[in-house]
Chain A
Amino acid sequence: METSPNAPRSLILSIRLYQALLAIYPSSFRREYGWQMLQVFGDCCRRALRQAGLPGLLRLWSRTLLDAVQSALEEHAQRGVDMSKEKFIKLSGWALMLGGLAVVLGWVASTRPEYDRHNALSLPIDRYINVAELPLLVMGMLLLSVGFTGLLVRYGKTAGAFGRLSLGLAMVSGVVSAVGMVGLAIYDSNPWWSMFFFSLTFQFLGATLFGVVCLRRQMLPRWNGLPLFAGIWVPLFVVISLIVEQNSGTWVEWPEWVFYSIWFLSLAGLTGLGYLLQSDSQPAVMPAAAG
Chain B
Amino acid sequence: MAVTSPLPEDLLPMTPAMFNILLALADGEKHGYAMMLEVEANTGGSIKMGPGTLYGSIKRMLASGLIEESDERPDPALDDERRRYYRLSGLGQRALHLEAERLEHQVSVARFKHVLDGSA
Enumerate chain A interface residues (CB-CB to B < 8 A): 25, 29, 32-33, 35-41, 43-44, 63-64, 66-68, 70-72, 74-75, 78, 155, 157-158, 160, 217, 219-221, 280, 282, 284-291
Main secondary structure, interface of A, reads helix
- Asked whether A284 and B14 contact (CB < 8 A) given A67-B51, A67-B52, the answer is no
Q: Is B98 an interface residue (CB 8 A)?
A: no
Q: Which of A29, A39, A289 contacts B15 (CB 8 A)?
A: A289
A–B complex contacts, Cβ < 8 Å, 25 sampled: A29-B56, A29-B59, A32-B59, A33-B58, A33-B59, A35-B82, A36-B55, A36-B83, A37-B52, A38-B51, A40-B32, A64-B51, A67-B51, A67-B53, A68-B52, A157-B10, A220-B4, A284-B64, A287-B14, A287-B57, A287-B61, A290-B60, A291-B17, A291-B49, A291-B57
Residues of chain A within 8 A (CB-CB) of B51 are 36-38, 40-41, 44, 64, 67-68
B11 touches A284 (CB 8 A): no
Distance in angstroms from A275 CB to nearest chain B CB is 14
Residues of chain A within 8 A (CB-CB) of B7 are 158, 160, 217
Q: Which of B3, B48, B80 contacts A63 (CB 8 A)?
A: B48
B6 touches A74 (CB 8 A): no
Which residue of chain B lies nearest to A35 when distances are taken between CB atoms in the complex?
Answer: B82
A291 touches B15 (CB 8 A): yes
Q: Which of A44, A63, A285 contacts B63 (CB 8 A)?
A: A285
Distance in angstroms from B16 CB to nearest chain A CB is 6
B50 touches A64 (CB 8 A): yes
Q: Which 7 A-B pairs have the closest CB atoms?
A: A67-B50, A71-B52, A291-B17, A221-B2, A285-B63, A37-B51, A33-B55
Q: Is B120 an interface residue (CB 8 A)?
A: no
Enumerate chain B interface residues (CB-CB to A < 8 A): 1-7, 10-11, 14-18, 20, 32-33, 36, 47-61, 63-64, 66, 80, 82-84
A29–B63 Cα distance when bound, in Å, is 13
B60 touches A286 (CB 8 A): yes
A284 touches B3 (CB 8 A): yes
A42–B84 Cα distance when bound, in Å, is 15
Distance in angstroms from A155 CB to nearest chain B CB is 7
Other 14 A-B pairs with CB < 8 A, given A68-B51, A284-B6, A291-B49: A29-B56, A37-B54, A39-B33, A44-B33, A67-B50, A67-B53, A68-B52, A72-B52, A74-B56, A158-B6, A220-B4, A285-B3, A285-B64, A287-B11
A36 touches B32 (CB 8 A): yes
Q: Which of B4, B33, B56 contacts A290 (CB 8 A)?
A: B56
Q: Which of B2, B3, B11, B53 contacts A291 (CB 8 A)?
A: B53
Residues of chain B within 8 A (CB-CB) of A36 are 32, 51, 55, 83-84
Among B7, B16, B50, B57, max chain A CB count under 10 A is at B50
Among B15, B17, B18, B54, max chain A CB count under 10 A is at B54
A166–B41 Cα distance when bound, in Å, is 45
Residues of chain B within 8 A (CB-CB) of A44 are 33, 36, 51
A75–B56 Cα distance when bound, in Å, is 7
A290 touches B17 (CB 8 A): yes
Distance in angstroms from B87 CB to nearest chain A CB is 16
Which residue of chain B lies nearest to A154 when distances are taken between CB atoms in the complex?
Answer: B4
Which residue of chain B lies nearest to A37 when distances are taken between CB atoms in the complex?
Answer: B51
Residues of chain B within 8 A (CB-CB) of A219 are 4
